[in-house]
Amino acid sequence: MIFEERLKKAIHEVPDFPEPGIIFKDITGIWHDPELVRECVQRLAAPFEKDNIHKIIGIESRGFLMGPMIAQALNCSFVTVRKKGKLPRETLHVNYELEYGNATIEAHQDAIVVGDRVLIHDDLLATGGTAAAAAQLTKLMGGQVVGFCFIIQLLHLGGAAKLQSFSPKIISLIDY
Ligand code: AMP
């Protein structure tokens, strides 16, 4: 079976979760197949091999699953970006709008230093609001956004357009 088919089979679609109208893409099945995990990591890392990435930002919480493995593959650091109130030391934060209401993400203030070349990773790109907020946070700390990588992109929500101004290098393994 080709890679895309194996990946699609491992991703379970759950209608009306967490609320009516949302088709939740459950990625946990990918980790039932270590070979598939390895291939995902390799395919997410490979486009950035020559980009001299210093740090990968993983976005809470599903960005923490593959993010550290991509960082290992690129031999760079991994940084956690979390929802408000979870990090124990001094932080910098960015507020952003959700479909209903708003949210805040933050990173330890020393997580990124001026000049860092940063790759932003999450499991899924939907409207792009979350990844754009992570990109804003990166810039606030003096980092340079080199690109974005996602396991899944939901094309109809147009999230990539929101990220273009930070970096046009936006990689996804499977698009719906
Ligand atoms: P957005 O900010 O709209 O791009 O949403 C992306 C964030 O929401 C990611 O952290 C995803 O994990 C999560 N997310 C949004 N839509 C879905 C979905 N249909 N299935 C699973 N996760 C989703």
pLDDT, tens digit (0-9, with 9 covering 90-100), for 121-163: 999 999 999 999 999 999 999 999 999 999 999 999 999 999 9
Q: Are 93 and 84 in contact (CB under 8 A)?
A: yes
- Residue 23: the pLDDT is 96
- pLDDT band of residue 99 (cuts 50, 70, 90) is confident
Q: Record the tokens describing residue 169, joined without a space.
A: 């290098």
Q: How far apart are alpha carbons 40 and 162 in whole angstroms?
A: 24
User: Which ligand 1 atom is at minimum distance from the Cα of 22?
Assistant: 19
- Residue 52: the pLDDT is 98
Q: Record the tokens describing residue 50, joined without a space.
A: 């020559």
Burial 102-133 (b: 16+ CB within 10 A, else e): eeebbbbeebbeeebbbbbbbbbbbbbbbbbb
The burial of 169, by beta-carbon neighbours within 10 Å (0-12 exposed, 13-18 middle, 19 or more buried), is given as middle
Q: Which residue has the tokens 């932080």?
A: 91
- pLDDT band of residue 39 (cuts 50, 70, 90) is very high
Give, using CA atoms, the residue closest to atom 9 of ligand 1: 124
Q: Which residues are catalytic?
A: 62, 99
pLDDT, tens digit (0-9, with 9 covering 90-100), for 61-76: 999 999 999 999 999 9
126 lines ligand 1 (CB under 6 A): yes
Residue 35: alpha-carbon gap to chain centroid: 21
User: Which ligand 1 atom is at minimum distance from the Cα of 157?
Assistant: 3
- Residue 100: the pLDDT is 79
124 lines ligand 1 (CB under 6 A): yes
109 lines ligand 1 (CB under 6 A): no
- pLDDT band of residue 171 (cuts 50, 70, 90) is very high
22 lines ligand 1 (CB under 6 A): yes
Residue 94 alpha carbon to ligand 1 centre in Å: 18
Residue 62 alpha carbon to ligand 1 centre in Å: 10
Beta-bridge partner residues of 15: 23
What is the rounded average pLDDT for all residues in the chain?
A: 97
- pLDDT band of residue 96 (cuts 50, 70, 90) is very high
